[in-house]
Amino acid sequence: MKTDIEIAHSVSMKPIASIAEKLGIEFDDLELYGKYKAKIPLRFIDKEKVKQHKLILVSAISPTPAGEGKTTVSIGLAQAMNRQNYQTTVVLREPSLGPVFGIKGGATGGGWSQVLPMEDINLHFTGDFSAIEKAHNLLAALIDNNLQNKQYSLGIDPRTVEWKRVMDMNDRALRQMILGLGGTSSGVPRETGFDITAASEIMAILCLADDFEDLKKRLGNIFIGFTYSGKPVYARDLKAQGAMTALLKDAIKPNLVQTIEGTPAIIHGGPFANIAQGTNSIIATRMGLSLSDYVVTEAGFGFDLGAEKFIDIKCRYGDLQPSAVVLVATVRALKYHGGAPLDSLKEENLEALQKGFANLEKHIENMLQFKACPVVAINRFTSDTDAEINLIVEKCKSMGVDVSPIDVWAKGGEGALDLADIVAGTCERCENQITPLYDWNWDVPTKIETVAKRIYGAEAIDFSSQAKKDLKKIEKLGLDKLPVCIAKTQKSLSDNPALLGRPKDFVVTVRNIEIASGAGFVIPITGNIMRMPGLPAKPAAENIDIDNEGNITGLF
Amino acid sequence: MKTDIEIAHSVSMKPIASIAEKLGIEFDDLELYGKYKAKIPLRFIDKEKVKQHKLILVSAISPTPAGEGKTTVSIGLAQAMNRQNYQTTVVLREPSLGPVFGIKGGATGGGWSQVLPMEDINLHFTGDFSAIEKAHNLLAALIDNNLQNKQYSLGIDPRTVEWKRVMDMNDRALRQMILGLGGTSSGVPRETGFDITAASEIMAILCLADDFEDLKKRLGNIFIGFTYSGKPVYARDLKAQGAMTALLKDAIKPNLVQTIEGTPAIIHGGPFANIAQGTNSIIATRMGLSLSDYVVTEAGFGFDLGAEKFIDIKCRYGDLQPSAVVLVATVRALKYHGGAPLDSLKEENLEALQKGFANLEKHIENMLQFKACPVVAINRFTSDTDAEINLIVEKCKSMGVDVSPIDVWAKGGEGALDLADIVAGTCERCENQITPLYDWNWDVPTKIETVAKRIYGAEAIDFSSQAKKDLKKIEKLGLDKLPVCIAKTQKSLSDNPALLGRPKDFVVTVRNIEIASGAGFVIPITGNIMRMPGLPAKPAAENIDIDNEGNITGLF
């Protein structure tokens, strides 16, 4: 069987200008990055069309090591829609470079549902992550420089500085450090660390901003810490927002590429869905809707994380309205949720599947809570039996839910034609009925409780003493009307990664609540979320190579 | 008077494809980065033409705060040569982003001798620095990951690890740190730090590599440290070189832009001349020589640093031969070298100028030691008096040296027509006569002594006890036949930044000797070189801004 990169290389890409032409963009309006990548100027956003055209959100059951293929399905569905003459663009997040050298390999779909050029998209792409990293680290350097220089000092208490640095690398040794060592000319010693770039608040900000002006305002609003006299300090107090915005002058523009079938793909922004809103940029979504009748987009991890935040945060900031929501499930993952061991997933196991269906069932119920018309896509693997597929189909039908088995890895768009028609039908039938779960004006604990009880299925919420202090701080800073972007493990509906399927009677513990006042949300932290991953004992980097003609191998 | 950015914006750039056309490159062969930047594929290097065409090196007197304008002169000279019908490309280094937010502002020339688009070149440009940063930090992550994972451990002694991390930011707090804190799952605690990206050995390697194969070999040769049993460890032992080369797949290709007069400009690589070879890439120089009859290039800082390394390291690795060397001097800087205070440099002061000429004189003598035919360019400032200019002209003439006052800031190429003719004449007259100063086969102390005594003018060399240990280590590792890339302050011919003019009777102290076995040189460190700059009390970042149309202000 061919690998993803071999399949990618077996296809000749079209010049990106001819993809842009399909969208009504002329060559002279593109900013090319090589022959197959381009940035689209922001002036192509058309507010009227954003309102008229249809937004399709792809989400999934709770992720498992068996894999769900949400990106692959998003790409395959967009290809299928174009085959059925629904003019569609797929709008995705940019992959993080760090995991490419760890376990994961690439993040550009798979098989005959990929975005191309996959090496470029997986490596530096058009430099957006680097630009975000620079803007983030410039603010950090300005903070440490202000601590260093007494002359223009704001009197920041270094122990209160919450702004860390970022690097797009899986590098656990950077998680916690003492810097500023080496004497009076080399900074003020203090404890801090690095997060991975996708976890940067600037990534979240870029993905929520309307334009340069809004971007700059949000960057200025980043909360840094307190002065010794207890006054809050924001990035604007360091006059950082102009230079930070200048660093993002190209990163703010969405990137155009193509899928393996020539469907236009806009890839822009890449925040994590467990600690940020986890969806591509509002600008990219609006651009897609301005340029084609339908946009297929995805939200990170399960429906409880990415999709909840998509509807409650992104759609509200961006004044967007999804017309259909597709939930991706696989036989393998549901069996795993039902207790089947990872190495047995190729064998038929209707009992485990039946049991694991509870996870899918809860996500369907959650979709209904947002008043969405659920559509379930069963992403086929070759080892799935007909009996297994039928079991899921029947159970979905008995809940009155549309369901369609698809095979987009092996067949591309051809493998999801039925799903494409169902989704297009749902867009007509269920337009404008999705509603948010909570009112931003509610107090923070009520907002957290609403999500945790209604979406996660928690019995109760426990606020640690630190979380209670943080609630007071948030109120004092006047940030209590912001939405809650709950950080939680993606592996379970609960905050305990070990609880698979549909956990019940559990308590969600809020350890602390972080502030992302630039992005415009607060982040209640539950469980043990890591913002800087590590590399595995044998990193994928060891297998990546390039020949003297520049051909890369070992990305998958 | 208009600022540099205002002058830059007053000109309409030509599409980069039309600049490429002048060089015989067709549109389809370019890899565009927007409309005004492009990468040139390596296949355009033509070995025969590299041999036939003429290379002109621009160097300078010892830098002072008064400014010499070496980049501005290089650009202006290339423009002048084209005006005189010598087909010329200017080949420069990429500016480092860090200093842009510090004191310096941009580094793309000035006035009517600039390279464009100056904002892009000064900010992320085509992402080369970011790619180098990633490749560097990937190796660091792999090292710390190997320390963490006992299973595949190489047994590296963390106290011997010499490989740091890099960030293209002026951020003194990162100079020295303890990372790996936070318990057993977050790395092994150890002391390390960050250098600025231009100081990365990978930057030096990229600038000395022939092609992908050579690049990969050099990356694999990077020395990391020792195992507990004293065995040397290289990057290849971590299987890092394939992934690192893959990260550099686009960075290896030279970037094409244009000067304000439409002269082709190739800008590629940006190593520091005080701690690395300090010139653009061999690939870029060869590319320039393949595409035009003349190439004007520059080497960093004074002739004692950049130009010595250019001839003794770069030219030998790259089999290149400069046909002419231009030394840039200014009236202001020479007066400063002669003891005039910085705030008095606008006033005529023939006495200080006479005294400060000694610095220029020594650099001319050094040029003669390499058997170059010296050409001196006096870069005019509006405050210079005719008497001052004449004094320099007369003194140069009495030494039998060609000299030409130029005014490229205010007049562009028009301001250096005479210089262009002199340089073209020198290329004919003095071809193939420049010879290196020392033989790589000499032992390391002799090589250091030769440069320090003959070029710096030192009386004696003092090796610290650490340097003596390092010499033994270098011999043990079999690296003693590598050239010496001496790290020394740029502010003085000596290793003491306070000694202006032409210091005599001084001792150069070699503190320690670092190994850059991938780049292929050893680095004797003299004095107090900083590899990570800091920001000033009022950083330039505070004044940088961007409006809602994406227009940047405050870069200068």
Does some domain include residue A542? Answer: no
Per-residue confidence (pLDDT) for residue A271, from 0 to 100:
82
Last residue of some domain: B429, B454, B487?
A: B429
Instruction: Report CA-CA distances (Å) from A288 to A88, B334, B376.
Output: 8, 60, 58
Sorted by sequence, the CB contacts under 8 Å of residue B551 that are 6+ apart come out as: none
A191 and A117 belong to one structural domain: no
Q: Does residue A289 sit at the B interface (CB-CB below 8 Å)?
A: no
pLDDT tens for each residue of B310-350: 999 999 999 999 999 999 999 999 999 999 999 999 999 99
Beta-bridged to residue B403, according to DSSP, are: B376
* DSSP string for residues in A201-257: HHHHHHHH--SHHHHHHHHHT-EEEEBTTS-EEEGGGGT-HHHHHHHTTTTTSPEEE
- The predicted structure's pLDDT at residue B556: 66
Q: Does residue B235 belong to the interface with chain A, where contact is any CB pair within 8 Å? A: no
| Beta-bridge partners for B368 | none
- Min Cα distance B31 → chain A (Å) is 4
Indicate if the pLDDT at residue A441 is higher than 90.
yes
Inspect the interface and report whether the beta carbons of B171 and A137 lie closer than 8 Å: yes
- Does the distance separating the beta carbons of A246 and B546 come in below 8 Å? yes
- The distance of B211 to chain A (nearest Cα, Å) reads 7
Q: Is the pLDDT of residue B528 over 90?
A: no
Q: B555 falls in which pLDDT band (50, 70, 90)? A: confident
Asked if A440 is an active-site residue, the reply is: no
Give yes or no: residues A268 and A408 share one domain: yes
Model's pTM, two decimal places?
0.96
To probe the interface with B, which of A134, A532, A552 has the most B CB atoms within 10 Å? A134
Residues B325, B233 share a domain: no
ipTM, 2 dp: 0.94
The answer on pLDDT for A147 being more than 70 is yes
Q: Is residue A24 domain-resident?
A: yes
Q: Give catalytic status of residue A194 as yes or no.
A: no
Q: Which two tokens stand for residue A298?
A: 């995805």
Q: Which residue has the higher pLDDT, A537 or B471?
A: B471
Q: What's the pLDDT at A104?
A: 60
Q: Does A179 touch chain B (CB under 8 A)?
A: yes
Percentage helix, strand, coil, to 5, in chain A? 40, 20, 40
H helical segments located in B88-238: 97-100, 118-122, 128-148, 201-208, 212-220
Are the C-beta atoms of residues B377 and B407 closer than 8 Å to each other? no
Torsion sign, CA atoms B491, B492, B493, B495? negative
Beta bridge partners of A295: A55, A89
Q: One of B8, B54, B72, B352 is an active-site residue; which one?
A: B72
> Do both B474 and B405 map to the same domain?
no
Q: Which of residues 211-230 of A touch B (CB under 8 A)?
A: 211-213, 216
What pLDDT is recorded for position A344? 94
Pairwise CA distance, residues B142 & B119, whole Å: 34
Which sign, positive or negative, has the C-alpha torsion A132, A133, A136, A138? negative
The tally of domains found in chain A comes to 3
**Residue B140 shares a structural domain with residue B255:** no
B193 Cβ partners below 8 Å, 6+ apart?
A182, B164, B165, B174, B175, B176, B177, B532
Instruction: Give residue B264's Cα distance to chain centre.
Output: 20
pLDDT reading at B105 higher than 60: no
Catalytically annotated residue among B22, B83, B104, B190: B104
Give me the pLDDT at residue A556, please.
66
Whole-angstrom Cα Rg for chain A: 23
Structural domain ending residue among the three candidates B193, B228, B247: B247
Query: Residue B305: which of B62, B58, B57 has the closest Cα?
Result: B62
Residue A12 lies in a domain: yes
- DSSP-derived 3-state class of residue A468: helix
Indicate the Cα dihedral angle B275, B277, B283, B287, nearest 10°.
120
- B154 touches A: beta carbon within 8 Å: no
User: Residue B529 pLDDT more than 90?
Assistant: no
Asked, for residue B183, whether it belongs to a domain, the answer is yes
Domain ranges, residue B520:
444-526
Query: What's the pLDDT at A277?
Result: 84
Residue B544 belongs to some domain of the structure: no
Quote the CA–CA distance of B478 and B234 in Å, as a whole number. 14
Residues B254-274 pLDDT 10s: 999 999 999 999 999 988 877
pLDDT tens for A468-488 read 999 999 999 999 999 999 999
Q: What is the pLDDT of residue B525?
A: 93
Hey, what are B185's tokens?
């799952």
DSSP 8-state class, residue A319: T
**Contact between residue B92 and residue B71 where contact means Cβ atoms under 8 Å apart:** yes
CATH of the domain at A310: 3.40.50.300
Same-domain check for residues B407 and B296: yes
Q: Cα(B190)–Cα(B178) distance, rounded to whole angstroms? A: 5
The answer to whether A262 and A11 are in contact (CB under 8 A) is: no
Q: Which residues pair with B192 in a beta bridge?
A: B177
Is residue A535 a part of any domain in this protein? no
Domain harbouring A179, CATH code = 3.30.1510.10
Q: Please spell the DSSP secondary structure of B455-479, one letter per residue.
A: II--SEEEE-HHHHHHHHHHHHTT-
Instruction: Give B 479-538 residues with CB within 8 A of chain A.
Output: 534-535, 537-538
- Average the pLDDT over A270-295 and give the result: 92
CB B520 within 8 A of CB B314: no
Contact assessment for residue A77 and residue A55, using Cβ atoms and an 8 Å cutoff? no
Rounded Cα distance, A436 and A553, in Å: 45
Three-state SS letters, B237-250: HHCCHHHHHHHCCC
* Closest residue on chain A to B536 (Cα): A145
Q: Is B142 on the interface with A (CB under 8 A)?
A: yes
Predicted confidence at residue B496, as pLDDT, reads 93
Domain assignment present for residue B520? The answer is yes
Residue contact B246–A544, C-beta within 8 A = yes
The whole-angstrom separation of Cα B385 and Cα B382 is 8
- Distance, in Å, from the CA atom of A7 to the CA atom of A407, rounded to the nearest integer, reads 16
CB B509 within 8 A of CB B464: yes
CA pair distance B359, A13, nearest whole angstrom: 59
According to the model, what pLDDT value does residue A529 have?
75
| Domain shared by B67 and B47, yes or no | yes
A204 Cα to chain B: minimum distance (Å)? 20
With beta carbons less than 8 A apart as the criterion, state whether A75 and A326 touch: no
How do residues B7-32 score in pLDDT, each as one tens digit? 998 999 999 999 999 999 999 999 99
- For A47-77, the pLDDT digits (tens) are 999 999 999 999 999 999 877 899 999 999 9
A15 and B CB contact within 8 Å: no
- Which of B225, B247, B269 is the last residue in one of the domains? B247
How far is residue B38 from each of residues A418, B33, B135, measured CA to CA in Å?
44, 5, 22
Q: Which residues contact A320 (CB under 8 A, 6 or more apart)?
A: A50, A55, A282, A285, A286, A314
The answer to whether the CB atoms of A535 and B170 lie below 8 A apart is no
Torsion sign, CA atoms B271, B277, B282, B285: positive
Q: How confident is the model at residue A342 (pLDDT cuts 50, 70, 90)?
A: very high
State how far the alpha carbon of B83 is from the alpha carbons of B73, B78, B296, B413, in Å.
15, 9, 14, 7
A113 and A239 co-located in one domain: no
For the stretch B40-90, pLDDT in tens is 999 999 999 999 999 999 999 999 987 789 999 999 999 999 999 999 999
Same domain, B504 and B359: no
Q: Are residues A398 and A271 in the same domain?
A: yes
A258 and A351 part of one domain: yes
Annotated catalytic, B104? yes
Q: Is A126 left (phi over 0), alpha (psi -120 to 50) or beta?
A: alpha
Report yes or no on B437 lying in a domain: no
Q: Specify the CATH number for the domain of residue B488.
A: 3.10.410.10
Task: Decide if B141 and A535 are in contact by the 8 Å CB cutoff.
Answer: yes
Query: How crowded is the C-beta side of A277, counted as CA atoms within 13 Å?
Result: 32
Domain co-membership, A334 together with A355: yes
